Amino acid sequence: MKIHGDAEDGFGRVVDVFAGNLASGRDVGAGVTLYAGGRKVVDVWGGVADVRSGRPWTADTPAVVFSCSKGILAILAYLLVQRGRLELDAPVARYWPEFAGNGKGDIRVRWLLSHRAGLPAVDRDLTLDEVLAWEPVIEALEAQAPLWQPGTAHCYHGMTYGWLVGEVIRRITGKMPGRFLADEVAAPLGLRTWIGLPASEYGSVAWLLPPPAEDPEEQVHPVIDRAFTMSGAFGFPVADGEVSFNAPAIQAAEIPGAGGVSTAGGLARLYAGCVSAIAGPPLLTRASIDDAVTVQSSGPELFERVDNGARWGTGFMIDSPPWRPLLGPRSFGHDGAGGQLAFADDEFEVGFAYVNNRMGGASDDRANGLTAAVRACVERG
């Protein structure tokens, strides 16, 4: 299969792994971009963006990046910290007074960002229209009690993370998180990256394919099921044989924990801009990165029996072998349910992103193979 784009000398290993994924059929369409030292050193793409029409993947093809969206929100939160408008260890209620009800007055902003708030799922049954409207979810979160003593344990807030962190951003800035992203980051950096896709872009987005059928896994805990389906508002990842996030209404809405849409180039440039002078000084200070990569949550999650190695700083997934090894202790970013991955590392001054349209299953290691190739290239260089 033909690979488009280019790579600087010394980074061919990344292209080789990428090409292998496409040739094997593990990827149907995909893109990979890598910045190092503020330069774009790899930018390659290939395959088919939409199998229904045969539309090819191009450098400008965006895809739903699922939980990579959480890393975008975390960057926005740290920008507010650096501007003196947000304190991570302050009560959420300082910025969002209605949140304090039903025993939530002492929940810290940092706990929202590190999956420790006790609110991984919404108690109230919601329709899809209510989920897409924003306010009904906010009202449901205001009304409910935490599922455990906040701060004492963690459980991945797969969807609610977006409304919890997004509402804090909205209360501080007066802007929805997607608008704040567009105004403060995407426009200055020239990113094709959105939370809330413009209608004009829907035809450019890659069509997502379901994950491959795998052996049945252990039954999912009811809390986890409610967490990822927003209490049954939509199937996740698949409803009636199709990936639910292909729906235009879902892509257009702001679902900031999982509904971001971006090209590989957009995410890589965003993360490169956190650690390099891309369009002005780096977005994040050394102090912010020090804070972000400090472990907040690790080990077995509540409602889960196993420890897969995932570790969370504040807002970001951090180096998490064997589940998601990155470059080292200074790496921060996020992966996504489809197999996508985006991260930065200020030690190596790297910004990386991989997006695709073939969702991976439990054994998916496409992103890990690419990360290993990046690590080999930058360590050698």
pLDDT class of 215 with cuts at 50, 70, 90: very low
State which amino acid sits at residue 282: P
Which residues lie below 8 Å from residue 290, measured CB to CB, with a gap of 6+? none
Q: Which long-range contacts (CB under 8 A, 24 or more apart) does 179-182 make?
A: 180/76, 181/72, 181/76
Q: How high is the pLDDT of residue 306? A: 80
What is the rounded average pLDDT for all residues in the chain?
95
Residue 214 has pLDDT above 70, yes or no: no
- With a pLDDT cut of 90, the percent of the chain lying above it is 92
Asked if the bond preceding 150 is cis, omega within 30° of 0, the reply is: no
Q: How far apart are the first and last CA of the chain?
A: 29
The predicted structure's pLDDT at residue 305: 72
Q: What is the pLDDT of residue 217?
A: 53
Reported as a pLDDT band with limits 50, 70 and 90, residue 373 is very high
Contact between 118 and 146 (Cβ < 8 Å): yes
Best CA proximity match to 250, nearest among 159, 341, 143 = 159
191: confidence class by pLDDT, cuts 50, 70, 90: very high
164 to 87, 158, 257, 316: CA distances (angstroms): 15, 11, 9, 15
Tokens found for residue 299: 């080990």
CA dihedral sign, ordered 183, 184, 187, 191: negative
Query: Residue 278: is its pLDDT beyond 90?
Result: yes
Across the range 286-307, mean pLDDT stands at: 93
The domain over range 62-206+224-264+282-338 is classified in CATH as 3.40.710.10? yes
- pLDDT above 70 covers a percentage of the chain that reads 98
Instruction: Give the residue-averaged pLDDT of 289-313.
Output: 93
The dihedral of CA 211, 212, 213, 216: what is its sign? negative
Q: Length of the chain, please?
A: 381
pLDDT of residue 338: 84
353 DSSP β-pair partners: 33, 342
Average pLDDT estimate for 273-284: 96
Measure the CA angle with vertex 74, ends 73 and 75; round to 5°: 90
Alpha helices in 174-285 (DSSP H): 177-181, 187-189, 222-229, 248-252, 264-275
Strand partners, 356: 30
Cis peptide before 248 (omega within 30 of 0): no
**pLDDT at residue 363 tops 90:** no
pLDDT digits (tens, 9 = 90+) for 71-121: 999 999 999 999 999 999 999 999 999 999 999 999 999 999 999 999 999
pLDDT band at 212 (very low <50, low <70, confident <90, very high): confident
Average pLDDT for 335-360: 96
The mean pLDDT of 233-252, rounded to a whole number, is 95
In this predicted structure, the answer to whether residue 188 has a pLDDT above a threshold of 70 is yes
Residue range 357-362: mean pLDDT, rounded: 88
Q: What are the residue ranges spanned by the domains of the chain? A: 62-206+224-264+282-338
- The DSSP call for residue 91 is B
- CA torsion angle 365 368 374 379 (round to 10): -140
Tokens of 102: 């039903």
Cα separation values, 177 from 164, 169, 260, 352, 366, Å = 11, 6, 11, 23, 30
pLDDT tens digit string along 26-84? 999 999 999 999 999 999 999 999 999 999 999 999 999 999 999 999 999 999 999 99
Find, among 353, 373, 372, the residue nearest to 69 by Cα.
353
